[in-house]
Structure 1
Amino acid sequence: FGAALRLTSWVLKPVQTLDAAAHGIATGRMNSRVAASGGPPELQRLARSFNEMADNVEEVLEQQRAFVADASHQLRNPLAALLLRIELLALELPEGNEEIASVRTEGKRLTQVLDDLLDLALAEHASAEISLTDIGALTSER
């Protein structure tokens, strides 16, 4: 009975370790890895493969974050120039022009989208903030 218990423990300990690391990654702890431990050669190979997979996933997420941050930075200058040109054109239009007001609103919305993208790219493991949005008001605005 003792030998069966030791054998079972030898086989299941690496599985429990893998399960804990997989749960860690699933819940956002991207640095979760499996420490080298005993167990059958197949489970040792699985642990190494898991760590390689986790490294690749973390690298891809970092590349995506860097791309989004770079893209939002690159789009800021052309958008700022466009908004400046809109303001210059607005000087030539009669006061209270509805079309220029609409263009300004869209410009502000695009600026906010870029700000949000940059915030998203820079937010490593920040907790998400849930907020309510009035879909009816948003729809009528569009």
Structure 2
Amino acid sequence: MASAAAPAPRPHATTAPLVIDLGVEPVTRHVTAFLLVATIVVAVLATAVAYGDPRPITVALVLLLVLLLLVTWRFRSRHHTATVIANGSRLEIVRGGVRHVFDLSRRDNPVDVIGLPRDRHWRVLFHRRGMAPYVVDASMVDPEEFMRVLHAQRSEVTYRPR
């Protein structure tokens, strides 16, 4: 007599939360990298010319290029890119090694949107108790995509004029 085997239990299908990387492409980092490489190449060439003809103008050109190299390097090192990830109602922002997490489902944490996403001065303020508001702007996120995600969690958020 053949025994009918009980069907194997199916594993519960777990749906992963929607994770959206809202960070913008770090254009500034690409531009400064190009400037650094170009300045190094021109500085090496100018140094070779100044070595062969050490007049004050050629030495001054090399010093000017070195100064430009240092200023570009300093700007690049001070400009931190941001990683902004929406994971369900949780918004995680990492910028300059500092991590901020906001729960968009909590209504007791006010959120203000200043301007429209197409405006130059558009920004979103996440108010925090006892601290200054955390500001998200267009340098960190794509404003249109960010507002779509924000409205999905906080439909009551409205735009305020600047």
TMscore range, shorter length: 0.3 to 0.5
TM-score, normalised via structure 2 length: 0.33
Structure in which a larger fraction of residues adopt helix: 1
TM-score, normalised via structure 1 length: 0.37
